[in-house]
A and B are shown apart, each in its own frame.
Chain A
Amino acid sequence: MIRGILLSCVFLILILSSTSCADFVEPNQLAFVIGGAIDHAEDGSIEVSYQIVIPSQLSSKGGSSGDSDSFVVMSAKGKDVFEASEKIQIKMSRRLLTSHRVTMAISEEYFNKNDVSKLFDKLSRDPANNLRDIVLLIKGGSAKEFLMLKHPMERLSSIAAGKELQINGLRKFTSRQLIVDYLSEGIRSLVPVLQVKNFKTSRKNTNPIAVLSGIAVLNKKLKVKGLLNEDEGSGAIWMSGKGTFKGVTIPWKNGKGILSFRLTHLQRRINSYSRNDSKRIVLTVKAQAYLLDNTTPLDTTDVDNKIEIQKYVNEQIQKELQLTMDKVQQWGPDVFGIGEHLHRKYPYWWKSQKDDWDEKFKNIEVTVKADILLRSTGATGAPLK
């Protein structure tokens, strides 16, 4: 009897302590951070802002979200991310939970005036980060402003940005990817650029919305060397092997109408040829094309026309991508990973070349080739007239 009581006492204590009820934060005591923002602050410190959802506002049926926001943006300055986060935490009634963060927005000013790689340590050392969040560069305004924006379709601007990238096939821009690229010697990073623009979304109101407006080319020290616009950007992403699909529109010969394609299965292959001590690079891009808009008089059921279209698309894309390639090469950063390819193929040659690779990359001869397969010409033959 006494033995039984004693045992049950021990187990009761064990159950209470080993399920760690004492050190558990209930979901209603948590503040879910969905978006983060990093801004430059004067005197060398850093301004961290968190976009935090207000769960009670989320449950009320969308529609009339006119007055009440479903999120709150809190920010604080500090010497590093942790200090700033702690200062935010002091203002909060709930524990910050950063494991579910979707995006991390960094302002252009911060990129230019600070060393972004210093943020990486916090991202990988503290288990409260997930390394799956997308890193964005906010052009123009501050990143904090971006978090405060309302989005006409989504409740939170950072979720909207994440979905926008996801749905447009830009899936490889997570913080993990950025760190991995930063740590390898032969590849530089690309970061999607968001810009706040005003859109007239209905007759009454004009909304500022952050939209994808190109891609930033970073150098070894993660400084912005140049910005590519949407078209050049998607080409650069394709050539760096990070693309999944994209659309392309090409005017037909002699201005006789326009052809538009959806390109899927984007791939790229790098071949290199040794010539004495210098290397010549052939970068082949591959894709499968679906013709979806045709205002030319071409009858696409005719096999000769199909061959003609495929040949022409290849020529045009090759020309376009070569221009982008030349532009990036002038800036220097090797965002295509050509250095990494050479590193893997000629490891001993690479040892003498890896220092100051960005400068050397400028003088490498890179030829872009397109190998696009016309998979389908759509559901009609000749244009309907």
Chain B
Amino acid sequence: MKVSSYQLFWLISISSMIVFSYLPIQLAAKESRQDAWISILLGCMIMMAITWIMLRVCMQNKDKTLVGFMKNLLGTVLGKIIVTVYFLLWFLQISSIARGTVEFQNLVMLHNTPMIVILLCFLFLVAYSVYRGGITAISRCAEIIGPFFVFILYGQLFLNPQDMDMKRILPIYADTGWIPILKGTLYSFNYMVDPSVILMLFFFAENKRTASRAILWGTAVAMIWGVLATLVVLFVTGPGMAAELVVPVYTLTKIVSILNFIQNIDALFIPLWLLGGFIKLSVYLFILSYGLSEWTGFKNWKLIACLTTFILLANVIYSTHNLRIGFTYTSLFQIGFFYPFVYIAIPLILWMIGSIRQRRKASNIN
């Protein structure tokens, strides 16, 4: 299974933009009001840096996936234990995206359809694509969906010119100060992109050099969109309303009224978000099941993918009933320990160990 750099670019940009349009804007605006865009910008810079570090790690271990090189660098026992944290992260991300998508469909369009029916259809599609084609099928889908998804989402930002008032983001900094701005960053940046995906995906890249460039560009495209989207939300609704909009990008599409003629275009965007959610979920399911198969030594990762889907289904249903599990995005444990650990601490440690080893190897040869 090989993925070309072009496909990788779309994979990364779609799966980043889909979460960006859902969680971080409100989390940031709640803390930093009209300076939410600064929070988001800072978060984007942090995430770009993390992506860069992760790519360094990947380049040092071109011929292995995360599970492989973790074992190599940290030893079998420690490596295996720490990798489970990533499995947990991906699993949580899949369930929160799946739940969010289904809940949104129920709220907006399908009021009477049982949630489980939508969930089953959705997960069946995801599991099927992973089962039949693995990452090859997913990346081909991404190649097709990507251009539509990215361009339409970018285009959507410019559909509200008559409602925009640039002055709504003023005064910059004075009302909030650094502490709320940084707090906004802290709460939101974990949900902008998930750079840990590339630790697994990079192994499948055809040409490693162009792939790392594609991944950086893919992340950057999503980041720029995120900052612009935050600005547009603030321009259109002002800080007071933006802080309360749970699905801000959706609300933007509802307000669109071009020449009093093109209105109610949200129905056009909902399928698009579904396509984006499909790509995101399939990528996660693939890396999760492939990782698990390497971790357990059980070769048939397709079977694991099916089993994971069932566990996922159970978890999503359970978390819709247990609200506290499903909707805690800013708990101290997650913000203070979990995310920094998986996004910053481990990649840095891996990078350091990798560099030391390389240097030692080089000196040994000499």
Contact = CB atoms under 8 A, between A and B. Distances in A.
B113 A184 contact: no
B164 to A, nearest CB: 12
B238 A347 contact: no
Contacts of B244: 124
Interface in A184-219: 184
Contact of A183 (B109, B162, B241): B241
Interface residues of A, number: 25
Contact of A180 (B121, B170, B240): B240
Given A23-B111, A127-B254, A184-B238, A344 B163 contact: no
Interface residues of B, number: 34
Interface in B85-116: 107-113
Given A23-B110, A127-B107, A347 B171 contact: yes
A99 interface: yes
A180 B263 contact: no
Interface string B106-137: 01111111000100010010000000000000
A131 interface: yes
A367 to B, nearest CB: 22
Nearest to B121: A18
Label chain A's interface by main secondary structure.
Answer: helix
Contacts of B251: 124, 131
Contact of B241 (A130, A132, A180, A348): A180
A327 interface: no
B254 A184 contact: no
Contacts of A20: 109-110, 113
A127 B167 contact: no
26 contacts: A14-B124, A18-B121, A20-B110, A20-B113, A22-B113, A23-B110, A23-B111, A124-B245, A127-B266, A130-B254, A130-B263, A130-B264, A131-B251, A131-B255, A132-B254, A171-B162, A180-B237, A180-B238, A180-B240, A183-B238, A183-B240, A183-B241, A343-B171, A345-B171, A347-B175, A348-B174
Interface of A: 14, 17-18, 20, 22-23, 99-100, 124, 127, 130-132, 166, 171, 176, 179-180, 183-184, 343-345, 347-348
Interface of B: 107-113, 117, 121, 124, 162-163, 167-168, 170-171, 174-175, 237-241, 244-245, 250-251, 254-255, 257, 260, 263-264, 266
Given A180-B241, A345-B171, 9 more contacts: A14-B121, A127-B108, A127-B254, A130-B255, A166-B260, A171-B162, A176-B163, A180-B240, A184-B238
